Structure 1
Amino acid sequence: MAQSMTLARPYARAAFEKAKQDGSIDQWSTALLSLASYVEQDQVRDFIVHPGLSQDAQAETLLQLSGDDVRGDEITNFLSMLAQNDRLVVLPEISALFEQHKAEQEQSLDVSVTSAFELSDQEKETLASALKTKLNKNIQLTTTVDKALIGGVVIHAGDMTIDGSVRGRLQKLSETMGS
């Protein structure tokens, strides 16, 4: 995965800069998310990397699958360039990095909170407010419940993870006692 991210980084940056220059960030975002969703499917990925399929046919296949989600010559040319450079398989990483650039541009951050129990609306608001203050960004909070945490929460914000769960604390304690 690290190698895929390394390969995807310059393409994502170039796509974002072009989208920003043209004022079409949302259009590019939709297109890349759609293309990435198809490439993540095993059958599609296996088909587009088949050695008997030309690079033009690989790009055309993805364009046909994505339908109206991919519009515009610039995005089509970008897809063709990825095919020519054998980089179609890193479209999910390109899309993820593009979304990171978009979030930085918008000064927003997607935060995932996993808790042992359902959080009340007040708790969500308090948590989002505290994170907004700490990270100096607008926060889009999504929550999930995982009873295996026993208690507490695990917060994923960008590349930062805060494990305040009982399960996480017990694991740390176990590791400390084991060493």
Structure 2
Amino acid sequence: MSSLAAANRYAVALFDLAKEKNILQEISTELEAVQQVFEENTKLPKLLDHPNVSLEKKEQLIRESFTDLSSTVVNTMLLLLKKKRIDTVTLIAEQFQKLMQEEEKVAHAVVYTVKPLTDSEKSMISETFAKKIGKNTLHITNEIDPSLIGGMKIHIGDTIFDGSVEGQLERLRRELVPGKR
């Protein structure tokens, strides 16, 4: 089983457990902290995966290093250690965050424009497109693209909304010139 598939299974199981216990936000925050520790300290995953370090010492290291975390997250990490899947902990945290966003109906969009958007423009785009994609909240990241003549392109996941001048001209050209698609 690939690391991503395994991470997804663990994330779903942890998500379901957290939802059942009504501690989704707490677990989400703790997983973000664990992810940050693993990403910033590259020696930790190597140590936890090293064959010459006993399982007991690895378990002790996790218990002592993550004393502020809930037993749910610590026990998940210990399980990952026993199943030799501790290397997937950052992937699990990422997958858990995706599940949280789905649960909260939150999405992220990258809006490409010629000039920076004002806060009111971001807010208007967020409200309009959140409704179109069935989300409650749409977080906007504005990227400046000098190749655009005008208008904007919006990327939400795998979907692109092309409201650029170039895109509008291309659609007009396809309508006016029959047979070329």
TM-score of the superposed pair, with normalisation by structure 2: 0.74
- For 2:28, the equivalent position in structure 1 comes to 29
Q: How far apart are residue 128 of structure 1 and its match?
A: 0.6
Percent same amino acid among aligned pairs? 23
Counterpart code for 1:124: K
**Cα distance 1:6–1:154, how it changes in 2: closer, same or farther (>3 A)?**
farther
Q: Distance in 1 between matches of 2:130 and 2:107?
A: 9
Q: Distance in 2 between matches of 1:38 and 1:19?
A: 21
Q: Distance in 2 between matches of 1:19 and 1:51?
A: 32
Structure 1: segments with no counterpart, 5+ residues: 170-179
Give me the CA root mean square deviation: 2.9
How many corresponding residue pairs?
A: 163
- Can you list the C-alpha shifts for 1:110-138, whole angstroms capped at 9, x where unaligned? 33445453211222122112211211111
Q: Which moved more, 1:106-115 or 1:118-127?
A: 106-115
TM-score of the superposed pair, with normalisation by structure 1: 0.74
C-alpha contact 1:39 1:92 (8 A) present in aligned 2: yes
Counterpart code for 1:55: L
- For 2:46, the equivalent position in structure 1 comes to 46
Residue 150 (1) aligns with residue 147 (2): yes
Structure 2: segments with no counterpart, 5+ residues: 168-181
Q: Distance in 2 between matches of 1:14 and 1:39?
A: 21
Counterpart code for 1:110: H
- For 1:74, the equivalent position in structure 2 comes to 72
Residue 18 (1) aligns with residue 17 (2): yes
Q: Which secondary structure state, in structure 2, belongs to the residue aligned with residue 117 of structure 1? A: coil
Q: How far apart are residue 106 of structure 1 and its match?
A: 1.8
Q: Distance in 2 between matches of 1:140 and 1:64?
A: 38
Counterpart code for 2:107: L
